Amino acid sequence: MDVFTWPLPALPTLGFLLLGYLLGSIPFGLILTRAAGLGDVRNIGSGNIGATNVLRTGNKKLAAATLLLDALKGTLAAAVGYHFLGPEAGIAAGFGAFLGHLFPVWLGFKGGKGIATYIGVLLGLAPLVVLVFAACWLIVAKVTRYSSLAALVATVVVPVVLLVAGYGRIGLLFVVLSVITWIKHRANIERLIAGTESRIGQKG
């Protein structure tokens, strides 16, 4: 539960927002693929820097490492903010990390789609609710074989669970994150509607 008993100074909270942004803007997918001699991941597939596009290089270990690091930067930002100044700073830092991943200044504000960092921020602010995300993803993915649809459904369920469970502003944060996530996945949504979205395990 996030209980606010005193107003936090605006300047330190904004500082954690910036700190979160800087952490979130680290393009691990790009860094790892270049370090592995695979070139610029933005030149393949969707041009995205996230784990799904890294997987298109054929290197599953790099994709898994990208997924983990993109999540952990959200977790670290949210947890550090929460630890030092409480829930508001944690929320600000987590939001900053999410925005940093989606719109990194170093890459012309063209980043990933945010699912891994979304999960990471959730882990930092409401760790038990990560299980809700995981359960939703697994069930939808099992039934439909669409990874993108599974993630989108999970981002609808998570804010509802948070708000019903009394997480207040954390729940509102995830309403915002979910809306942004859906906007960033508009191309996937169009393909899902058209029936052209790739399914899990689909070749070519």
Count: domains in the chain: 2
Same domain? For 103 and 182 the reply is no
| CA–CA distance, 117 with 24 (Å, rounded to integer) | 8
**Is there a single domain that holds both residue 139 and residue 162?**
yes
Alpha carbons within 13 angstroms on the beta-carbon side of residue 163 total: 11
Q: Residue 37: give the domain boundaries.
A: 9-113
Q: pLDDT digit string (tens) for 24-46?
A: 999 998 899 989 888 888 887 77
SS (H, E, C) 18-60: HHHHHHHCCCHHHHHHHHCCCCCHHHCCCCCCCHHHHHCCCCH
Residue 150 structure tokens: 């599974």
Determine, yes or no, domain membership for 99.
yes
Point out the domain boundary residue: 55, 86, 113.
113
Query: pTM of this prediction?
Result: 0.89
**Residue 1 falls inside a structural domain:** no
Domain end, chosen from 113, 148, 166, is at 113
Reported as a single tens digit per residue, the pLDDT across 101-142 is: 999 998 888 888 999 999 999 999 999 999 999 999 999 999
Residue 156 has pLDDT above 70, yes or no: yes
Domain check: are 36 and 94 in the same one? yes
Tell me: do 103 and 13 sit in the same domain. Answer: yes
Position 201 confidence tier, pLDDT thresholds 50, 70, 90: low
User: What tokens appear for 105 in the block?
Assistant: 């200044």
Phi, psi of 69 (to 5 degrees): -70, -35
Classify residue 131: in a domain, yes or no. Answer: yes
Q: Note whether residue 4 is domain-resident.
A: no
| 175 and 142 within one domain | yes
| Boundary residue ending a domain (113, 147, 177) | 113
Whether residue 95 sits in one domain with residue 17: yes
131 and 192 inside one domain: yes
> What does residue 164 show for φ and ψ, rounded to 5 degrees?
-65, -35
Kindly give, in sequence order, each residue whose CB lies less than 8 Å from that of residue 1, ignoring residues fewer than 6 positions away: 166, 167, 168
